Structure 1
Amino acid sequence: MVRSTRRPDLMDPATLAQLGGVELVAREVVEGFLMGLHRSPHRGFSAEFAELRSYRPGDDLRYIDWRMYGRSDRFYVKQFEEETNLRAYLLVDISASMGWSSEPGTIPTKLWYARHLAAAMALILARQGDTVGLAAFDDQVVDRIEPRGGRRQWHELVRRLAGLEASGGTQAQTALRELAGRLRRRGLVILFSDLLVDPEETRTALRFLRHRGHEVLVFHLLDPGERELPAAADARFVDPETDAELLVSVADVRSEYRDAVAGALAEWERSLRPHGIDYEVVDTSRPLSLALRAYLRKRERLG
């Protein structure tokens, strides 16, 4: 196992992957992320304040008193009598395309990134006293854990996430609609996917969730090799879900490809944000902390 003095939440995924398994990486990332915060990302607690005490690793990050930190340069935690819980559901795409990396051995796969980001996010949710569940899907939902709270739930989520493997096609809209039918209480749905899906049907399903009163956050996982074509004369493109192949001249299509990718990303944002759906493009070569900040911005707005 690699030891480093760098904060794990700021490490590139290739370095982070050397730390160990999903549980260890998630813990290290969350601890580093917590210590790097400069202000509380949460407001508006409907709870009665009890007292302050010194921060201990594993404490709920919502309750850090940043005014006290500014005066004393030490972390203190507010304690409350009660708290209002959020119900969250993590929806992870495990289709074959999620198992791809443009630079194997250097850039982890999109599914590696999704597993570790979801585990870190679940740990933050658990420490906030929220309940969190999980659904993994390809053409259909293949694994599911109902939302619960507590340390045992997080360990079970990590175990399931660690066992996920990429295979099959993608029917995100099927999983989203099934989830909408099962959720009786309004909550937060977080989708981790490369969005190589039927765009219109998936957008409709996401908007349907929003219409039902759920908050929705979409993490669009993008390998850097999907933004730019490789530096080669010719390239053979293979669809990992159908095995279809296409040989092209890179020089002839580089500019058109770049424009098509930019246009597709812009269309996802244009079609989701006006409906109150948060959309974040996540580069799988970048630190996990960038995506965690996007989650905290969303959580802050929920109160």
Structure 2
Amino acid sequence: MLSSRPAPQSLQENTFGVTGEAQSLAGSLPDLLVEASRIAANVTAGWHGRRRSGPGETFWQFRPFLAGEAAHQVDWRRSARDDNLYVREREWEAAQTIWVWADLSASMHFQSKQAKSSKQTRALLLMLALSYALNEAGERVGLTGLTHALASRNAVQTIAETLVHENPSSTLPNPEGIRRFSETVLFSDLLDPPDKLEKWMETIASTGAKGHLVQLLDPIEESFPFTGPTRFEDPENGAQLKAGRAQTWQQEYLHRLAVHKDQIRSLARRFDWSYTLHHTNRPALEPLMLLHSRLANTPQHKMRGDKL
């Protein structure tokens, strides 16, 4: 019998390669930030955010005072710094608030020879790239349960620094702070029992917020290519399972995984969330383009499942 988390991890390194312990967040984030910025540049072309001046409480920018405008609009403190007059503009409240989360739990460290990166590294890359793109579009973005939602240019840096200091390992984030009209994006292998995910989604749905699930799987988690004597280990609790002829388990494993993914798709349909399946041997840009389309069309987007 396979465990409730259907992702196998063989200890036979001659069968497939593993990266070992993931690099520390502090060491890996600088490179990921650079790569995320590059990917985000490809996503943001044509992504028109809703941020502009208008009624609101949040400062946006200073702009030059224009002839004919009322004198009371001048920000005299800022204007005193040089010979020009400036007006303080505030952010229009229609900017979206997007909450992001990357699952950094033990199962996300997994990487086979067929994958471009571990699930954890890909989750971080996707989250940071999406955050960059959202910031460039003028939207507010925050790390769910750990930071405020920010529209400033240093929002992504704030998220990265928070990850280093907090080092969160929860599969699902604390939904506290998520409010109506906001959205949350989860990057995870989603291999926990579906009822755990369901309770989390129910909490968010009760606020009136929407969500997007991005399930990340290593390609061998979809194929179960193991043969002969194989030992599997649960990365979450260290439990081990030995198989004398692993190939005889393939059919049952693939059936259970298919049922598990169908349950997640059903939850997404029930709550009107989007669902994307992404394999770590595929380009990172693919799921981001789908998220771009869905977030840009909120709240009119319709839930659909895509495999990438």
Q: Same fold (TM over 0.5)?
A: yes
Of all paired residues, the percent bearing the same amino acid is: 23
Q: Secondary structure at the match of 2:129?
A: helix
Q: What residue in structure 2 maps to residue 123 of structure 1?
A: 132
The alignment of Structure 1 onto Structure 2 pairs a total of residues equal to 236
Q: What residue in structure 1 maps to residue 183 of structure 2?
A: 188
Q: What residue in structure 2 maps to residue 265 of structure 1?
A: 261
C-alpha distance 277-185 of structure 1, shift in aligned 2 (>3 A)? closer
Cα drift, residue 182 of structure 1: 2.4
C-alpha distance 46-219 of structure 1, shift in aligned 2 (>3 A)? closer
The question of whether the paired residues in 2 share the 8 Å contact of 1:90 and 1:133 is answered with yes
C-alpha distance 147-171 of structure 1, shift in aligned 2 (>3 A)? same
Report the Cα distance in structure 1 between the residues aligned to 2:100 and 2:51, rounded to whole angstroms.
Answer: 25
Structure 2 stretches lacking a partner, 5+ long: 1-27, 54-89, 300-308
TM-score, L = length of structure 2: 0.67
The question of whether the paired residues in 1 share the 8 Å contact of 2:194 and 2:260 is answered with no
Report the Cα distance in structure 2 between the residues aligned to 1:164 and 1:238, rounded to whole angstroms.
Answer: 27
The question of whether the paired residues in 2 share the 8 Å contact of 1:94 and 1:164 is answered with no
Q: What residue in structure 2 maps to residue 113 of structure 1?
A: 122
Cα drift, residue 231 of structure 1: 4.1
Aligned counterparts, 1:100-249, within 5 A = 100-103=110-113, 107-135=116-144, 144-161=146-163, 172=172, 175=173, 178-179=174-175, 181-248=176-243, 249=245
Report the Cα distance in structure 1 between the residues aligned to 2:105 and 2:137, rounded to whole angstroms.
Answer: 31
The question of whether the paired residues in 2 share the 8 Å contact of 1:133 and 1:148 is answered with yes
The question of whether the paired residues in 1 share the 8 Å contact of 2:189 and 2:215 is answered with yes
- 1:87-108 residue CA offsets vs partner (Å, 9 max, x unmatched): 111122111111111239x531
C-alpha distance 164-224 of structure 1, shift in aligned 2 (>3 A)? farther
Report the Cα distance in structure 1 between the residues aligned to 2:267 and 2:288, rounded to whole angstroms.
Answer: 23
Structure 1 stretches lacking a partner, 5+ long: 1-17, 49-80, 136-140
Cα drift, residue 294 of structure 1: 1.7
State the one-letter code of the partner of 2:237: T
State the one-letter code of the partner of 1:294: L
Report the Cα distance in structure 2 between the residues aligned to 1:224 and 1:266, rounded to whole angstroms.
Answer: 18
Q: What residue in structure 2 maps to residue 252 of structure 1?
A: 248
- 1:4-29 residue CA offsets vs partner (Å, 9 max, x unmatched): xxxxxxxxxxxxxx9x7011101111
C-alpha distance 188-107 of structure 1, shift in aligned 2 (>3 A)? same
Cα drift, residue 244 of structure 1: 0.4
C-alpha distance 195-157 of structure 1, shift in aligned 2 (>3 A)? same
Q: Secondary structure at the match of 1:302?
A: coil
State the one-letter code of the partner of 1:23: L
Q: What residue in structure 1 maps to residue 71 of structure 2?
A: none
Cα drift, residue 162 of structure 1: 6.5
Report the Cα distance in structure 2 between the residues aligned to 1:162 and 1:116, rounded to whole angstroms.
Answer: 15
Cα drift, residue 183 of structure 1: 2.6
Q: Secondary structure at the match of 2:260?
A: helix
C-alpha distance 46-132 of structure 1, shift in aligned 2 (>3 A)? closer
Q: Secondary structure at the match of 2:223?
A: coil
Report the Cα distance in structure 1 between the residues aligned to 2:225 and 2:219, rounded to whole angstroms.
Answer: 10
Report the Cα distance in structure 2 between the residues aligned to 1:215 and 1:87, rounded to whole angstroms.
Answer: 11
Q: What residue in structure 2 maps to residue 25 of structure 1?
A: 35
Computing the radius of gyration from Cα coordinates, the structure with the larger value is: 2
C-alpha distance 294-162 of structure 1, shift in aligned 2 (>3 A)? farther
Q: Secondary structure at the match of 2:238?
A: coil
Cα drift, residue 265 of structure 1: 0.8
Q: 264-273 or 26-35: which moved more?
A: 26-35
Report the Cα distance in structure 2 between the residues aligned to 1:196 and 1:164, rounded to whole angstroms.
Answer: 23
Report the Cα distance in structure 1 between the residues aligned to 2:296 and 2:204, rounded to whole angstroms.
Answer: 20
Cα drift, residue 34 of structure 1: 4.4
Report the Cα distance in structure 1 between the residues aligned to 2:224 and 2:153, rounded to whole angstroms.
Answer: 43
